[in-house]
Amino acid sequence: MLKFTKPQSKKKRQRHAASIMQPKDGQCWICSRVYHCFRKYPNIQKHHVFFGNGLREISEANGFTVYLCPQHHTDGPDAVHRNQRMNRLVQRATQDRFEVNHTREEFMDLIGRNYIE
Ligand SMILES: [Zn+2]
Ligand SMILES: [Zn+2]
C-alpha cells in the first residue's frame, strides 16, 4: 500500500481565537460601544487591537480583535488606524476585558505594556 505523506509546511501554524470583545454579528465595536449605534454592516472588518512587532499574531491567537466598519477601521477621522486617541481607547478596553479573568502580569507577558492608567 502506498503511503502519502503530507509535505511539511515551513510556515508556522497560526493560532486563532474568537474575539474576546464581541460576537461576529456584523456590528462595529466603535459604532455600538462608543456611539450606541447598533447597525449591522455587510462589509465589517476584523481589526487586531495590538499590532506591530509580532503583536498581530498574538492578538489573533488570544482574541484581541474587534470588528469595525470601514469608517472606524481605516477611513474616517476617528478610525483606529488614523486616530491615536481612538486606537488607545480600544486597546484599553481590550486589556480591561482580558483582565476580567486574567492578571495584569499575564497581559504584560503577552503585550509588553500596560494601557490602563
Ligand atoms: Zn463603526
Ligand atoms: Zn486594523
- Give the pLDDT confidence of 53-72 residue by residue, as tens digits: 999 999 999 999 999 999 99
User: What are the backbone dihedrals phi and psi of residue 27, each rounded to the nearest 5 degrees, phi first?
Assistant: -80, 145
CA of 72 from ligand 2 middle (Å) equals: 9
Ligand (nearest to CA of 27): 1
Give the pLDDT of residue 77: 98
Ligand (nearest to CA of 72): 1
Give the pLDDT of residue 14: 86
pLDDT tens, residue by residue, 22-55: 999 999 999 999 999 999 999 999 999 999 999 9
Closest CA to 54 of 116, 113, 110: 110
CA of 29 from ligand 1 middle (Å) equals: 7
| Measured distance CA(51)–CA(49) in Å, rounded | 6
CA of 70 from ligand 1 middle (Å) equals: 7
Ligand (nearest to CA of 29): 1
CA of 40 from ligand 1 middle (Å) equals: 9
CA of 53 from ligand 2 middle (Å) equals: 14
Closest CA to 48 of 64, 69, 61: 64
Length of the chain: 117
What mean pLDDT comes out for the span 4-13?
67
DSSP secondary structure of 19-80: -SS--SSSB-HHHHHTT----B-TT-EEEESS-STTHHHHHHHHT-EEEE-HIIIIISTT-T
